[in-house]
Structure 1
Amino acid sequence: MSFKPGKSGNPSGRPKGAKARSSTELHQFIQEILAGNFSKVQIKQDLNALPPKLRLQYFFKLLDFVLPKPSSIELKEDNTRKSSDYWNSIMDKLKPDANDPY
C-alpha cells in the first residue's frame, strides 16, 4: 500500500505545528522537576563547589542553550586569484612592519 505524494493514510491527522502529547507531557514533567528542585542560588553554589575543569565543562554545555548553532557557509573559489603573486601580496601585508613598535 503506497501513498501518493501529498496524501497520507490519515488525511485528518494531527494539524501542522501541533506537538505530540507525549513530548508535551515530558516537557511539562521536566519543568516541574527543575522548578521544584533548583534555584539560581542553589545552581550557583553547586557550580562553585565543582572543580574548575568540571565547572568549565558544565559552562560550555549550558552555552549550547544560549548561543545559536553555527551554520555552514559555502565558500566560492575565485580562480582568478590563485596566482602566487596574489598570495605573496597577502603574506606581505601580514608581515610585521620593522618600524612598528608593537
Structure 2
Amino acid sequence: MAHPKGKSGNPSGRPKGTPNKATTNLRAWITSFIEDNRSQIQEDWHSLEPKDRIVLFERLLKFALPTLQSQAITTNFDQMTDEQLDKIIEQLKNQIQ
C-alpha cells in the first residue's frame, strides 16, 4: 500500500523525473515479449489485409513517435505598426518568389 504524502520518508513525494518502477518493468516485459515473438508477429502482419496493416501501423506509431499537439496562432493586425505590417508583406513576397 502506498504511503500518504509526507509519511514515506520523502516529504515531497517522488521527485519529478524519477521513473515509475512499475511502468519501467512493464515496458521491459513488453519489449522482451515483442523480441521473443518477432517471427510470429511478422507472419501475422503479412496475413493481414492492407487496410488492417495500415490501422495497426498507425496504432504502433503512437508508441514510437511523440504525439504532436496542435497550436493556434492568432495575430491582431489592428495592433501592429505600419512598419511591422510592411515587414510581414515583404516576407510573404519573398516566399512567393
Mapped to 2, the partners of 1:29 and 1:36 lie a distance apart of 10
Q: Deviations over 1:47-96 (max 9, x none)?
A: 1211122111112212323444222222214455xxxxxxxxxxxxxxxx
Q: 2:18 and 2:66 mapped to 1: Cα distance?
A: 24
| Aligned-partner Cα distance in 2 for 1:35–1:44 | 11
Q: Which has the larger radius of gyration?
A: 1
TM-score, normalised to structure 2's length? 0.51
Unaligned runs of 5+ in 1: 1-7, 81-102
Percent identity among equivalent residues?
A: 39
Match of 1:58 in 2: 56
Aligned-residue Cα RMSD (Å) equals 2.7
Quick one: distance in 2 between partners of 1:21 and 1:63? 24
Give the TM-score normalised by structure 1.
0.50
Structure 2 residue ranges without an equivalent (≥5)? 79-97
Question: More helix per residue: 1 or 2?
Answer: 2
